[in-house]
A and B are shown apart, each in its own frame.
Chain A
Amino acid sequence: MQPVIELDDLNVRFGEREILKSLRIALSGRIIGLLGPNGAGKSTLIHTLLGFCPASSGTAKILGHDIRAEADKVRTLVGYMPENDALIADMTAVSFVRMMGELSGLTEEAALERAHEVLFYVGLGEARYRQLGTYSLGMRQLAKLAQAIVHGPRLLILDEPTNGLDPAARTRMIKLIHDMKDSGEMHLLLCSHLLRDVEETCEDVLILKQGRIVHYANLESERRTNKRFVEIQTHGDDAGFAEALTAIGCECSAAGNGRFKAVLPEEFELREIYRVAAGRDLQLRRLNYRRDTLEDIFMKAMEV
């Protein structure tokens, strides 16, 4: 299958500073998470793909189109939801989204129709005749999303879509991202600092560090459970429990207010732990094998 984004020895520099250093990779997931610490070059990568800043050498392809040679084609295929506030305060949501649609080449009528459609879709239905200036932060994010999908892009680039959203808005945004992925119409590139969001939505992750690719992986395959590490959370007496566990051969370390991490010996049955708990009449609020979270993956990648 054709890769969504193809980086071929891509270099970008501002003046002397090298921001991206010879990135070479072909991404072909449905929804790709783009991670990395501040200044790793995430935004620069996105800007380069959109043709905002030129590649000093090498090139990149989006869905098979060269970002320099076929810039306009690329920008027709891409929808972009920037990180920062981006709207026109004195326009109503409908005319704003409509205009953006028309600028992407939709006909007047089609744009109007789509504008209503996507505004309903993102959940601004009732508010779509209001001026964007009156919108709350959450609504502004949704409006930004609406303008990014109005022209039916093949690749949707989301830069920090959940940043600063309150829990309700955040859940909604996550739901929308899932739904768009499942629609099968588009690929998504999600750039976020909130590992939890990426974890909940993405299939693949690309991790940058200081302008280099340090890790690219499929989350499922990375998240194998390890049958020897367990997490325990008790309610009530702590220290004694830890000792008791060590007594039955677990290396046990307390993580404060009732949380423990334990390494089990070979051939060990969880039952034993319950037995100990039962013996001490202690509540095991949580007991489960430890799986690698995205945070672990990320931290590992950073050590490289």
Chain B
Amino acid sequence: MTDSANITLDNVSRFYGEVLGVNRVTLSIPPGITSLVGPNGSGKITLMNLMTGLVRPTYGEIRIRGIAPSEPQKLFHLVGYSTQFDSFPKGLTGFQFIQSFLRFFGYSSATSLELAGRAIAQVGLTEAADRKIAAYSKGMRQRIKLAQAIAHDPQVLVLDEPLNGLDPLIRAETIALFRRWADEGRHVVVSSHVLHEVDLISDRVILLTGGYVVAEGQIHGVRTEIQEHPMEVLIRCDQPGALASRVFEQEHVVSAQILPDGSGLLVQTRDADRFYRQLNHLALDNIQIESVAPADDNVNSVYQYLIGGEEVSK
């Protein structure tokens, strides 16, 4: 992947007066679904606004597939951004909204009509397209925003909590949509608070806190980077005691606690790969293993380890 095909931030910082937005961020984001994860005020929004030129970096350089955000006339043929602002120009219907802004791209009225129709269909709002946005429900507003961001068929999508307020059905559809775009080789940069979803959808995650990037890459990769927390594996089996003793023979196993209800065992290991390999063999001699599952190889635990459950009242 050459950098001209990536979103690159080189040592970017942004301060609002004395307030820190983001600090010394250096990233190179390849196409695919990338999730921004972090507590409120961690700089996710600043980062997205920087990528789309809504705010300018105090210093550092940003390139979106080689284009500088300070050149809107070039950038926005390539980029679509669905912000977190839940507000719209007054008095427009969903369709008028999409269509009139498409005209800004220099499309003929015919093309803009067609594109608008397509975008609205993609988010499944066709039947509500001619109602005033003011009368939309939260979910519909969320979707019309999405439609507005994708209407001009951009290669780079920046989406701020796009799933927020969507009902489970639409959620599933939208996630499928992201997947498809990613497979078409587009950038889909998504911020989300719902970690188990991040787990499912994203190719890579960027963890932010306090304006700093604390982790970046594929979840599994990130997890293995965190040495101070040994991998946890949850095993349900008929005779946890026996299994525990067998497991302890391996030096990379840190601990093995039998679950309170005695239905299984929680193993901490420093070398997951070796552990799983050996587990195959353990399973073959007379221990009935019901189920195996990594207990903390997911965004949630990575989040817990790197950012932790900070106090809400801050």
Contacts and interface: CB of A to CB of B under 8 A. Distances in A.
Interface string A272-304: 001101100111111111000001001100100
Given A286-B294, A289-B290, A38 B139 contact: yes
Contacts, number: 130
Interface string B156-175: 00000100111111110000
Interface string A124-138: 111100000000111
A246 interface: no
Interface stretch (A45-53, A99-107, A169-177, A215-223): A169-177
A194 B194 contact: yes
A266 interface: no
Nearest to B309: A168
A283 B39 contact: no
A6 to B, nearest CB: 26
A167 B276 contact: no
A136 B313 CA distance: 8
Interface in A152-199: 160, 163-172, 193-196
B185 interface: no
Interface residues on B, range: 35 or more
A90 to B, nearest CB: 19
Interface string B271-314: 01100110111011000111111100100100100001111111
Interface string A32-44: 0001111110000
Interface string B31-67: 0000001111100000000000000000000000000
A236 to B, nearest CB: 9
A287 B170 contact: no
Nearest to B140: A38
A37 B280 contact: no
B312 A37 contact: no
A167 B195 contact: yes
Contact of A137 (B40, B195, B276): B40
Given A138-B40, A194-B194, A271-B284, A124 B313 contact: yes
A194 B277 CA distance: 36
B165 to A, nearest CB: 7
Contacts of A25: none
B193 A274 contact: no
A89 interface: no
Nearest to A259: B200
B292 A38 contact: no
B168 A278 contact: no
A164 B224 CA distance: 29
A31 B279 CA distance: 40
B289 A164 contact: no
B196 interface: yes
Contacts of B263: none
Contacts of B308: 168
A277 B282 CA distance: 12
A193 B276 CA distance: 36
A83 to B, nearest CB: 8
25 contacts: A37-B168, A37-B169, A39-B137, A40-B167, A123-B312, A125-B313, A136-B40, A164-B193, A168-B39, A168-B308, A170-B193, A172-B309, A172-B312, A193-B171, A196-B196, A270-B288, A270-B289, A278-B283, A278-B284, A283-B277, A284-B279, A284-B280, A286-B292, A287-B291, A295-B168
Given A136-B41, A142-B313, A193-B168, 17 more contacts: A137-B40, A139-B313, A164-B193, A167-B195, A168-B309, A170-B193, A172-B309, A193-B166, A193-B171, A270-B289, A277-B280, A282-B280, A283-B277, A285-B294, A285-B297, A286-B293, A288-B290
